[in-house]
Amino acid sequence: MAVTTTTVAETCAAAKRAARTLASASTAAKDAALEATARLLEERSAEILEANAADLADERAAGLTAALRDRLALTAGRVLAMAAGVRVVADLEDPVGEQLERKTLASGLDLRKVRVPLGVVAVVYEARPNVTIDCAALTIKSGNAIVLRGSHYAERSNGALAAVVREALGEAGLPQDAVLLLAGGGHEELAELATQEGLVDLLIPRGGEGLKAAIKEVATVPVMYAAAGNCHVYVHAEADLEMARRIAVNAKVQRPGVCNAAETLLIDAAIAARFVPAVLADLREEGVELVGDERARAAAGGAEIGVADAADWDTEYLGLKLAVAVVDSVADAVEHVNLHGTGHSEAIVTTSEEAAAEFVAGVDSAAVYVNASTRFTDGFEYGMGAEIGNSTQKLHARGPIGMRELTTFKYVARGNGQVRE
C-alpha cells in the first residue's frame, strides 16, 4: 500500500534518499517506469474504480458539492485518459541535463549552465485523484521524488493510484519511495510537511484560499501556490458575436469546477443591447445561475439575472454561476480584471488587433487569450503532458507547472588547473 504509516519527517527523509538516486537515473529507466505506470493503470482499472466508488460512497464525501463530486469521480474513460497522459510525458524530451548556456570565461574555464531536478517536491491537493498520477509522472520524468497529501475523502482512490506508480518504479529498477503518499491527516500533519527544511525542496498546495492561508501561516520550505482562478471573458465592441457566445459558454460550462473556468463575463457597452440577451439565454439554457451589475440587468431583456453584490466580482464559484458586467472600454475591462482577478487566465473576444494588443499588454495574468476560451490553460493542452497546477506567482514559475518548472540549474565549470589570483 502506498499510504505511509510513518511520520511525516520519516516519509520526507525516505523521499530525499530516493530523490538522490532518481536524479541520476537514465532517461530510459524513467521512461520505462512511466510506460509501466500507463500499462498498470489500464490493467488495474477495475480495482481503481472500485476504490473510487468506495470513496464516493463514504460519509466523508457526503457533503461535497456537485462540482467537487465530479472532480472526485473516476470513470473508465478518465483512467484511460490518465494512462494516455503518462505516455505523453514519457514521450517528451527529458529536461534533466539540458544545457541552458555555455561560455568560456576570461580565466579559460569552460562554464555550462545545466538543468537539474529540484529534489523532493511535496504536493497538497483536494479532490481530483488524477492529480496523483499527473504529479507522479511529471516528477519521475524530471528526476524528482514526490510526497503527496490528498484529501481524506479521496484516500482510497489516491492509495490505489499511488500503489500503481510505486509498482511501476520497482519494475523499472527505480526506488519506490520516489512516490510516497501521506494519509491525509489534520492540520498538524500539514504544518509538519510545510516545515521539513532540508528534506522538502518545494511545496505546491493545490486548493482554495483556506489551504493557501493555512500554508502561509506555517511554511518554512519554499512554496509555489497552484492558485485559485477568478477568470474573465471580455467581449469587445468589435467582437464576432457568434464566436463570443461560443467562447463565453465554453469557458463557463465545459467543466465549471476547475480553476480555468470563467467566473465573470465582461461585455462592452456598445454591443450590450444586442449581445446580452442572446448570451444570457445561452447560459441559462446550460443551467447557469446569473448575477449582474445594473447595466447588465437593464440589457438582459427577458433573461433571468439576479443582482450581483460586491463579493461576486471576487468569487471563484467553481460551479454553474456567473457574474456579468457591462464596461465602457478595453481600459475599463483591464482595470476590472486586474482589480478582481487572481492572475490566472483572461480572454478577450475581438476582431480588432489594437484592442487585443491593449488587453494582452494590460492584463497582469499568467495566461491571456485572444478569441479563445480560458479553458485551454492546462499543461496537457500546452504540450507539457500534464501539470501539477497553475501558478499565478512570478517566481519561480508562472502558468502551468510542468516538468521544466520542477527543475532548477547548476553551473558546471571545467578547467585545466586554473586558480584565482
Q: Which domains does the chain have, with CATH numbers?
A: 8-226+388-414 (3.40.605.10), 231-376 (3.40.309.10)
CA dist list (Å): 334 to 22, 227, 299, 311, 341:
45, 20, 22, 19, 10
pLDDT score of 293 more than 60: yes
End-to-end Cα separation, the chain, in angstroms? 58
Whole-model pTM: value is 0.87
Mean pLDDT of 127-144: 94
Average pLDDT, the chain: 94
pLDDT score of 312 more than 80: yes
pLDDT score of 73 more than 80: yes
Would you say 345 and 231 are in contact if contact means Cβ atoms under 8 Å apart? Answer: yes
pLDDT score of 187 more than 90: no
All three cell numbers of 179, joined, read 512516490
pLDDT above 70 covers a percentage of the chain that reads 98
Scanning the structure block, which residue is given the C-alpha cell 470513470? 75
Would you say 151 and 127 are in contact if contact means Cβ atoms under 8 Å apart? Answer: yes
Would you say 228 and 206 are in contact if contact means Cβ atoms under 8 Å apart? Answer: no
| Tens digits of residue pLDDT in 203-248 | 999 877 788 888 999 999 999 987 789 999 999 999 999 999 999 9
pLDDT score of 1 more than 50: no
pLDDT score of 7 more than 70: yes
pLDDT score of 171 more than 70: yes
Q: Using CA atoms, how far apart are residues 400 and 226, in angstroms rounded to an integer? A: 9
CA 215 and chain centroid, separation: 17
Q: How many CB atoms lie within 10 A of CB 278?
A: 15
Mean pLDDT of 265-269: 98
* The pLDDT of residue 3: 52
* The pLDDT of residue 389: 86
All three cell numbers of 354, joined, read 489594437
Would you say 148 and 132 are in contact if contact means Cβ atoms under 8 Å apart? Answer: yes
Q: Using CA atoms, how far apart are residues 95 and 101, in angstroms rounded to an integer? A: 14
- Cis omega before residue 232 (within 30°)? no
pLDDT score of 111 more than 90: yes
* The pLDDT of residue 184: 62
